[in-house]
Amino acid sequence: MKKSRLRVPGPTEVPEKVLNKMALPMINHRGEQFRNLFLKVSEEIKYVFQTNNDVLIFPSAGTGVMEAAIANFFSPGDHIVSFQCGVFGERFAEIAESYGAKVEAIKVDYGKPITKEIVKERISNDKNNKIKGILFTQNETSTGVLNNIKELREAIGNHPALVIVDAISSLGAVELKTDEWGIDVVVSSSQKAFMLPPGLGFISVSEKAWNAYENSKMPKYYFDIKNAKNSLKKGETPYTPFVSLIYALEESLKIIKDEGLENIIKEHKRLSKVLREGVKAIGLKLFVEDEYASPTVTAVEIPEERKDLQKFLKNKFNITVAGGQDRLKDKIIRIGHLGYVDFLDIIAVISALEMAVGDERLFGKGVKAAEKIYFEGGL
C-alpha cells in the first residue's frame, strides 16, 4: 500500500492533533461553550496576522473573503488598480469587476514579480486621488512568485487608497506585518499554512477600512463584515459556523504560537531552498528565479521528454503535485511546501524526481544537494 503524500499548495496535510479536534462532539453554536471558543480564536489569530485590528472569520474558501474584501469597502464605479503576476491576481480583479468597480489591471509576465518601480510610477501619477483601492497578491500560487509587500506598500506612500493584500497562500509561512506595514485589509484561509481543512476564510480590517465600509454601496449580505463584527461581540457568527473547524483552528493556532511565527517563517524559507537546490542538481529547470521565489510553492518546468511528470509522480509514488494553470497548463508542476511539512517530505519529492528523470547518473545528486543545504542550516 502506497502512503499518500500531498504536495499541492493547498489543501495541505493536517496534523493528527488538529484532525482529532474535529472529532469532538457537536455543540450549540449559540451556547456559552462555543461563545468562549470563538472569542478565543478570534483574538489569538491576530498573532498570525501581526495586527491589533479586527480579524473576522467566515465559513468560506479564500475566494469568499476576497469577495468580502471588495464588496465591503467600495462602490460601483470606484477605480481600483490591480497589480497582477498570475491567475490569482487576475481573479481578484475579476471579483472587483463583477461588483461594478472600474478595474485597471497592471500586469507583468508570469514568473516575474510586481516591482516597487511599477507601483510607484502608477500611484504617483494619480494626482487627484481617483484610485480608491489597490490590490496585491503576496504569494502568487499559480507561478511560485513572492511579491515583496513591504516594498510595494512603501512605494504607495501616503496615497489614501485602501491597500488590500491576498495572503491566502502566504500568511503564517511568510513575513507579513499588517499593522507595521500599513496594510488595510488582509485575506487568508484555512487550508494553507494554518494546517486546516478547507472551509474558513479570514479577513483583517483596519480603522481606515472600517471608515470606507460606511461609504460602500456595493451589495453584501452573507459576507457583510459589520454583521460579522456585531455578532463577534456576542461570541457568535451571523449564520451557522463550521463548529468543528473552529475547534481545529484553536489547536492549529496553539501549534503556531508554541513553535513561534518567526521560526515557522524561517523554516519555510529553508525548505524552499532545500527543494530548489535539489531540483537544480537533477538538471530540471525552475520557473522562477531564486530572488523572488515563493517559500510555500515551487514551480518546476516540465521537461519535453517527461510530459507525464505529474502523472508519473502520482502513479509511481502516490505523490500529488499541482499542474500549471491557464497559459502554464502542461508547462509546469507546482510543488507545495507549506504548513505541516518537514525536511523528509521534501527529500521524498526530490528522490522521486530523480527517478522520474530516469538517468541513473543523477540518482542521489538532488538528495545530496538538498541535504547539504539543510545541514548548513543546523540540525
Measure the CA–CA gap between 52 and 100, rounded to whole angstroms. 31
Measure the CA–CA gap between 223 and 333, rounded to whole angstroms. 34
Q: Which residues does the annotation place in the binding site?
A: 334
Q: Is the peptide bond before 219 cis (omega within 30 degrees of 0)?
A: no
Measure the CA–CA gap between 318 and 349, rounded to whole angstroms. 10
Measure the CA–CA gap between 41 and 254, rounded to whole angstroms. 10
Query: What residue has cell string 507549506?
Result: 338
Question: Beta partners for 146?
Answer: 139
Residue 340 · residue 12 · CB < 8 Å: yes
Residue 195 · residue 14 · CB < 8 Å: yes
Residue 350's closest CA among 377, 324, 375, 317? Answer: 317
Measure the CA–CA gap between 223 and 234, rounded to whole angstroms. 18
Query: What DSSP element (H or E) covers 94?
Result: helix 87-98
Residue 241's closest CA among 38, 71, 32? Answer: 38
Count of CB atoms within 10 A of residue 266's CB?
14
Residue 362 · residue 282 · CB < 8 Å: yes
Residue 140 · residue 89 · CB < 8 Å: yes
Question: Beta partners for 80?
Answer: 103, 133
Q: Which residues does the annotation place in the binding site for substrate?
A: 334
Measure the CA–CA gap between 89 and 114, rounded to whole angstroms. 11
Please return the burial class of 31, using the count of CB atoms within 10 Å of its CB with bins 0-12, 13-18 and 19+: exposed
Q: Are strands 322-323 and 332-336 parallel, antiparallel or unpaired?
A: antiparallel
Q: Are strands 185-189 and 319-320 parallel, antiparallel or unpaired?
A: unpaired
DSSP-based three-state secondary structure for 284: coil
